[in-house]
Structure 1
Amino acid sequence: MAVTWQLPPRVVGVATNLLLTCALGALLAFSFLGSRGIWDPDEGRYSNVALTMLDTGDWLTPRRNSTIGHWTKPPGTYWMVAGSVALFGETPWAARLPIALSYLACMLLAGLCADRLFPGSGPVAAIAYATMSTPSVAGQLITTDFPLAASQALAMYAWLGRRAGDALYRHRWLLLMWAAFGIGFMIKGPPALLPLLAVGLAGMLCPAPGLRWRWHLSGIVVFLAIALPWYLMVAARNPGLLGYFLGAEVIDRVATDRFGRSGQWYGWLQVYVPVLTLGTLPWTGDLWRWLRQLPGHLRSWRARRQGSVDQQLLLALWILVPLLVFCLARSRMPLYLLPLFVPLAVAVAGQRLQAGRRFNWKWLGAWIVLLLAARAGGALWPTHKDASTWAEAIRARVHGPIHEVVFVEDMARYGLHLHLGTEIRKVSVMPVPAARFNPTYDGALQAELKQAERDPGLVFVVKQARYPEVERVIHAYGYAVHPWGSPFQGRVLFGVEPAADAAR
């Protein structure tokens, strides 16, 4: 008699769920990833700095171009983008690949964290995360927020492992947590450590099994070994940079509206409420039910024992403590909340597991089709932010080499660096005092005019309304102007040469 062997139904079910979840994640991560050009300003700025690292060979100093540093963020994201472009070529797909991989990592970690807190809910959390509108949209944008979200999610998964994992491996989970925070610190600096506030508060309310002090010290050493060397090296090279980091990029972003990012007292309502309602679709209802039930969970925890561990309490601290800090800080942007979508997906999974609710696959399938259609529409949508259309317009108008594009008192389209392979600069018409770090302009127009004498491949861009004024200034400096073709997007493209050469 023939003997047949087959997997138990439970194993088959788990394998099927895993394969379907991975397929869904890959579909949402990579579909239309390179179908549109780089969008300015954010994608252009990050991709430009990464490409400048490749051009100059200097991977230590983030630069807007060969002469001006760009000190708003540590280099973690730039290194990822530069490495991807070096491997796969100068294409939008390659530049966005690290972001798509970060999206997949967050999806996986949402599932793993959910299984730690609510066993059996992992696939639901992963699918909920993958299909939430904010992660789905952000997964196609080059910013620091997704790599940061992935590093924080890894740190918090390690923290949950340190609390609930095998006692023999708790020290390893602790070291992994600090290593992940170190990586996050290299991506976005001090904001990467916000979940530590939740970790510390959870340790006070729900003490976990202790470890010897040397393991805590070892974790901090691991963090410092990853996070500190770059800061020390660039601070030694650039005196005063550390003060700028602490003053402008930390204190001012928290306590002032210096950067004009919804710093009013009600700014958090304008920015974060839409993100937490529309950005969590189609799972907003589940989150609302979880939030309504949360006070009951907390009262139950207090009634049982003050020091007992409660999964809902840990999850609430993970979400609410960083959210409170984001609301109090006066620099507010929608994607600042992106790291919170991992615990939000875990909350969705926990709530659905508790309520015994199943997916409506027809509605979820329709939602996924809608997400993909929105991406296709974004690729076809004509916008002045698309650097690829600018590159096409410049190539069509300029008859000759294109070595540098100079924007005269206009928003620099740094995305052109990837599409044209040229350096991008922003200059002022007249010389202005320049800040030591992150100046508004890369220099003055006169210096670029002198550069144009040696290199005819400079293309200047100015708003149509300011062109007559700029033309007069250029003539006063002894140069002639020759426009390149018709205006584009309300801008005049032109070249310059010494007036004597033009007359001859």
Structure 2
Amino acid sequence: MLKTRASRQTWLFVVMALLVLGAGLGLRDPWPSDEPRFALVAKQMVDSGDWLFPHRGLELYSDKPPMLMWWQATLYSVVGNWRVAFLLPSLIAALGTLWCVVDLGRRLWTRQVGLYAGWALLFALQFTFQAKKAQIDPLVVLFITLANYGLLRHLLLGPAWRWWWLGWFFAGIGVITKGVGVIALLMIVPAVIGSALHWPRVRLHARDLRFWLAPLAFVLAIALWLVPMVMTALATRSGEYLAYMDDILFRQTAKRYAQSWDHHQPWWYFLGTMPSMWIPAFLAVPWAIPAWRRRLQRRDARYLLLLGWWALIVLFFSIPNGKRDVYILPALPMFCLALAPLLPGLLRRRDVQWLLGAFTLLLSLGTLAAGLAALLGKPGFETRLMQTRGIGNGEMNALAWAAMAMGGWGVASLLLFGRGRRQLALVSTLTVVWVLYSLIGYPLLNDSSSARGLMRHTGQRIGADAELGLVAWKEQNLLMADRPAATFGFNEPWDAQLAAAVEWQQLAPQRRWLLVHEDALLPCIDRSRAELAGIANRRRWWLVPGAAVQGRCVASAEERERERRLQREE
């Protein structure tokens, strides 16, 4: 009977994870800011066959290693649909991370603890939000969590040499995914402290030669990408390839960490990020802290390693000036694992139940009020939203009804589950919020958020036989164009792009059109002869025929400075 009940609980978790994370798969295109960039690079990999040096348009893309793009291109080769393939890596990575956490909880404590850790992670706001986006972060979280899994299997349950080596190997894979995979190895620091102080359970087994072979696995993982890339760049002696190698190996990694040039935040930034982004699990922290302290006083090495690693990750990312909320995401799985053994006891407390109920009620009333305001309130807000994002009135009404459904479901869940099971009401509410957002929100917002509607209208307007050039373009414009589009650089100044595009257009002015970001239009373009193509991603785009160009397109010093400022803001 116990085995059957445990099996049902496990399968319930699996089904819920697939429902929450998989809902909406295939219902939308890539949305900015990062998704279209990675999908475009992956698509160009497939089209060109060059998987080693990724391109964005005509230029090499060196901001990030190509791991995510490799996954997307490979999965497209399997499923043959970009709408599915671009999101599949995040879904697979999220499910893999959940498996690591659940299995570690089972091995370090009990099956029930593992499931509690999985539930806490599945519904943590930042985890779910990122798992439903096609960014690099879900993949790097998977590889760091796999590295943690291997290290903990050896340090707390070992010796387990294969897992020890795999832990180092996946840390290396994390490095070639986003550069920060090495932070998984910080798990060794609290392990060394615990071993030196003779805490029970934690052992390094450092006297065995096999212990010191692990760094080779780390180097091997990095070499899988680094060696072919460097050898090709050096063999071809291409200036473009050498510049790519220098940028991705030095400027985008060590230099970016030591001399952050964007996203400047105060040192305490993550102390505010975690309480807001790790809810609802983080709501239990005020009760968890004294419980953690008692367990550390009893020299429980499981908490020493998990909590010590979490603290080191926060410290690591707090040192540089540049900080983003997503940087701290890799620490979330181990936080949930450290919290899980305490949850059965905490959920029996009245004050915890009251807090969960208040949070669920606040979430429900907030979504309900937002929906009612959109339907019955003054039209100013929705009018501004429709004007800036290009959302139609019908879509706004449908989104409002969806928000009301979320709020109504949350209130009904609180009434149904009663006072002693507020955690079930919260899980029920969050499930419906994510599912409705995915199944209803994705299709309604897709045209305006992805530039799909803009590019479809552009193709229809210029006709099947026309050629299209893009100026001051974003990745979604090239990705979703219905024909091969000419580009004139991505990082080039907008006025230089426009000048080159006009020269290209004048070679066949009757057949060639330009799609131009409104902020890049210079006085050489007669707007009375151009057409507003549409609004996408809060940007206005104009279709410029050859007859609308009057004279040379040369920017003044004031216009060039304005363009540089706008490009930085983009």
TM-score (norm 2): 0.72
Partner-residue secondary structure (3-state), 1:37: coil
Q: Which residue of 1 aligns with 2:105?
A: 114
Shift of 1:188: 0.9
Whether 1:255 and 2:258 are equivalent positions in the alignment is yes
Q: Which residue of 2 aligns with 1:156?
A: 148
Does the CA-based 8 Å contact 1:99-1:139 persist in structure 2? yes
Partner-residue secondary structure (3-state), 2:55: coil
Partner-residue secondary structure (3-state), 1:239: helix
Shift of 1:458: 5.8
> Which amino acid counterpart does residue 295 of structure 1 have in structure 2?
R
Separation in 2, partners of 1:235, 1:439: 26
Does the CA-based 8 Å contact 1:412-1:424 persist in structure 2? no
Whether 1:43 and 2:35 are equivalent positions in the alignment is yes
Does the CA-based 8 Å contact 2:172-2:219 persist in structure 1? yes
Q: Which moved more, 1:380-389 or 1:23-32?
A: 380-389
> Which amino acid counterpart does residue 540 of structure 2 have in structure 1?
G
> Which amino acid counterpart does residue 392 of structure 1 have in structure 2?
R
Aligned residue runs from structure 1 range 274-353, under 5 A: 275-301=273-299, 310-353=301-344
Does the CA-based 8 Å contact 1:77-1:144 persist in structure 2? yes
Aligned residue runs from structure 1 range 421-432, under 5 A: 422=484, 425=487, 427=489
Whether 1:193 and 2:169 are equivalent positions in the alignment is no
Does the CA-based 8 Å contact 2:145-2:333 persist in structure 1? yes
Shift of 1:416: 4.3
Q: Greater relative contact order: 1 or 2 (C-alpha under 8 angstroms, separation 6 or more)?
A: 1
Separation in 1, partners of 2:508, 2:220: 46
Superimposed CA distance per residue, residues 363-419 of structure 1 (whole angstroms, 9 cap, x where no aligned partner): 3212211222333454224785422222223223222346655123xx514364156
Separation in 2, partners of 1:403, 1:350: 62
**Alpha-carbon spacing, 1:422–1:482, altered in 2? closer, same or farther (3 Å):** farther
**Alpha-carbon spacing, 1:213–1:114, altered in 2? closer, same or farther (3 Å):** same
Sequence identity of aligned pairs in percent?
19
Shift of 1:70: 0.5
Shift of 1:74: 1.1
Shift of 1:141: 0.8
Corresponding residue to 1:396 among 443, 460, 463: 460
Shift of 1:28: 1.1
Q: Which residue of 1 aligns with 2:126?
A: 134
Aligned residue runs from structure 1 range 259-270, under 5 A: 260-261=262-263, 263-265=264-266, 268-269=268-269
Separation in 2, partners of 1:417, 1:424: 12
User: CA RMSD for the aligned pairs?
Assistant: 3.2
Partner-residue secondary structure (3-state), 1:490: strand
Corresponding residue to 2:210 among 204, 212, 215: 215
Q: Which residue of 2 aligns with 1:83?
A: 74
Does the CA-based 8 Å contact 2:469-2:501 persist in structure 1? no
Does the CA-based 8 Å contact 2:317-2:323 persist in structure 1? yes
**Alpha-carbon spacing, 1:316–1:444, altered in 2? closer, same or farther (3 Å):** same
Separation in 1, partners of 2:489, 2:340: 51
Shift of 1:135: 1.3
Q: Which residue of 1 aligns with 2:517?
A: 463
> Which amino acid counterpart does residue 163 of structure 2 have in structure 1?
W
Specify every segment of 5 or more residues in structure 1 that has no aligned partner in the other structure, as ranges.
Answer: 1-8, 302-308, 429-437, 473-479
Shift of 1:329: 2.1
Separation in 1, partners of 2:510, 2:52: 31
Whether 1:414 and 2:485 are equivalent positions in the alignment is no
**Alpha-carbon spacing, 1:21–1:215, altered in 2? closer, same or farther (3 Å):** same
Shift of 1:482: 6.7
Q: Which residue of 2 aligns with 1:477?
A: none
Whether 1:490 and 2:540 are equivalent positions in the alignment is yes
Shift of 1:241: 4.4
Separation in 2, partners of 1:338, 1:215: 31
Partner-residue secondary structure (3-state), 2:544: strand
Whether 1:365 and 2:356 are equivalent positions in the alignment is no
Partner-residue secondary structure (3-state), 2:74: helix
